[in-house]
Amino acid sequence: MNPLGRRSFMKRLGLASASGLLGSLVSPAWSRQLRNAVDRTELFSADQLATDEDFWYYMQQAFTVSPTLINLNNGGVSPAPKTVQEAVKRYYDLTNEAPSYYMWRILDQGREALRARLAAMAGCSADEIAMNRNSTEGLETVIFGYPLQAGDEVVVCKQDYIHVVHAWQQRALRDGIRINWVDLVLPSEDESYLVSQYVKAFTPRTKMVTITHVINWNGQILPVRKIADEAKKRGIDVLVDGAHSFAHFDFRIPDLNADYFATSLHKWLYAPIGAGMLYVRKEKIARIYPLFAAEKPQEGEIRKFEHLGTRPFFIEEAIGKAIEFNEMIGLERKQKRLQYLKNYWMERVRDVPKVVLSTSMNPKWGCAIGMVSVAGKTPAELDSFLFSKYRIHTTTINWEGISGVRVTPNVYTTTSQLDLLVEGITAFARS
Ligand SMILES: Cc1ncc(COP(=O)(O)O)c(C=O)c1O
């Protein structure tokens, strides 16, 4: 039961502040209500707020959520809030008034300020952050730019993202490097098992290990720091695939002890689609050749990774609005809400006969992403049942021992939507 009902929450809101009143003259109702709600959040702990449907209902109004389906595949890509969408449109319109002027002389001037804001979120120096288009670009920049010779070894996990697997396989084919595969049985809450699988794969010839922070297939969080520490002890470089972790839950990139960390800002930061970020530890920048050539490819300057040619500056600049949006929510509150939502639906289906859950409910090992299947039925059957009967959009997974329907709510998801999911899974399991 929600301990803080609509009334109690509204009572705590009190009267609108003077600034709220002034804002009301110019801002739409949804943003005034959200602002009032956010203004009063100091009355609640992040745990309390996680269960407050009124607050998150206002949050939903900040997005343009489809009225005709329930989107529970936020693991694929997240929608952007209205403020981000509007910024993209505004900057695009401006660009078209005189592209070369507005793109290069106006919008691109915002890049250094944006870099500094991303670095503040990541907890590192701005000189360690390059902006690009997605995780794939960041990961492949490192995978293809890292100096390796025939016979050198890298450690890669079979449950890593498909682009990572293919990139390393391509490098092995071309350059004769060797891949030592880790094969994880997931989900797991056994830290020593997870760490030891990597350690077992290290040899004196290992130069680099790739670690996925959140396994996208079932939402498993890996103990990156522990694995990275073992790698560093052996002089092995660490590349982290942070596609699903940045702005999803609270950590700072340097806490991971990684040399390279790539993420997609259009996932959990809610930036426009086509926005990514690559972190490279300062002293490791010089050794990575950029994917797109630079004048001095071996210099220790992070901006050498940004020679992408003409690109959508209106997308890049709108990242700033996504950062603002996240600052408004606060990462701890977001994390707690996402964990709450995942456990909300999982708790309600876990005892239903034939239902199998493949994600941990412990916050240490999972956050928003959860996986479900029904014994005797295929994931595709469950996915299509949920969509045809309930208009619930999910995705099916079948990859290296992980199979099921992946369910990923977001900050705009309400528990009443998840009640429908629970109803759908239960009906399917009994059918
Ligand atoms: C773990 C992981 N790594 C990398 C990627 C690639 O992200 P993008 O398509 O934004 O480059 C994804 C995408 O879902 C992912 O889940």
- Segment 156-202, tens digit of pLDDT: 999 999 999 999 999 999 999 999 999 999 999 999 999 999 999 99
pLDDT at 236: 98
Residue 241 CB–ligand 1 contact under 6 Å: yes
Pocket mutation for ligand 1, best pick of 216, 273, 277, 319 (most atoms within 8 Å of C-beta): 216
Residue 212 CB–ligand 1 contact under 6 Å: yes
Query: What gap in Å lies between CA 325 and CA 83, rounded to an integer?
Result: 8
Lowest mean pLDDT among 11-20, 214-223, 361-370: 11-20
Share of the chain above pLDDT 70, in %: 94
Residue 326 CB–ligand 1 contact under 6 Å: no
DSSP-derived 3-state class of residue 405: strand
Residue 33 CB–ligand 1 contact under 6 Å: no
264 CA: nearest ligand 1 atom: 10
Give domain 86-322's CATH architecture. 3-Layer(aba) Sandwich (3.40)
Query: What gap in Å lies between CA 169 and CA 175, rounded to an integer?
Result: 10
Lowest mean pLDDT among 28-32, 243-247, 315-319: 28-32
* 124 and 252 Cβ atoms separated by less than 8 Å: yes
Where exactly are the structural domains of the chain? 1-61, 86-322, 334-430
Pocket mutation for ligand 1, best pick of 77, 135, 245, 261 (most atoms within 8 Å of C-beta): 135
pLDDT at 66: 93
Query: What gap in Å lies between CA 67 and CA 132, rounded to an integer?
Result: 32
Mean pLDDT of 78-83: 97
Q: Which residues pair with 168 in a beta bridge?
A: none
pLDDT at 264 exceeding the cut of 90: yes
Share of the chain above pLDDT 90, in %: 89
Question: Which comes out higher in pLDDT, residue 343 or 54?
Answer: 343
Amino acid at 379: P
Is residue 215 very low, low, confident or very high in pLDDT (cuts 50, 70, 90)? very high
Taking only the tens place, the pLDDT of each residue in 45-64 is 999 999 999 999 999 999 99
pLDDT at 10 exceeding the cut of 70: no
- Is CATH 3.90.1150.10 the right assignment for the domain spanning 334-430? yes
pLDDT at 4 exceeding the cut of 50: no
pLDDT at 25: 53
Residue 264 CB–ligand 1 contact under 6 Å: yes
Mean pLDDT of 242-271: 98
Is residue 26 very low, low, confident or very high in pLDDT (cuts 50, 70, 90)? low
Residue 220 CB–ligand 1 contact under 6 Å: no
212 CA: nearest ligand 1 atom: 1
Taking only the tens place, the pLDDT of each residue in 111-155 is 999 999 999 999 999 999 999 999 999 999 999 999 999 999 999
Site of tokens 């293919």: 166
Question: Which comes out higher in pLDDT, residue 31 or 298?
Answer: 298
Amino acid at 76: G
User: What is the torsional sign of CA 137, 139, 141, 143?
Assistant: negative
Taking only the tens place, the pLDDT of each residue in 93-109 is 999 999 999 999 999 99
pLDDT at 9 exceeding the cut of 90: no
- Side-chain-side CA neighbours of residue 364 (13 Å): 7
Lowest mean pLDDT among 37-51, 284-298, 316-330: 37-51
Average predicted confidence (pLDDT) for the chain? 93
Token representation of residue 426: 């239960």
Q: How far is the CA of 241 from the centre of ligand 1 (A)?
A: 8
Q: Label residue 388 left, alpha or beta by phi (over 0 means left) and psi (-120 to 50 means alpha).
A: alpha
pLDDT at 15 exceeding the cut of 80: no
pLDDT at 42 exceeding the cut of 90: no
Taking only the tens place, the pLDDT of each residue in 407-422 is 999 999 999 999 999 9
pLDDT at 12 exceeding the cut of 60: no
Q: How far is the CA of 367 from the centre of ligand 1 (A)?
A: 17
Residue with CA at minimum distance from ligand 1 atom 16: 216
pLDDT at 191: 98
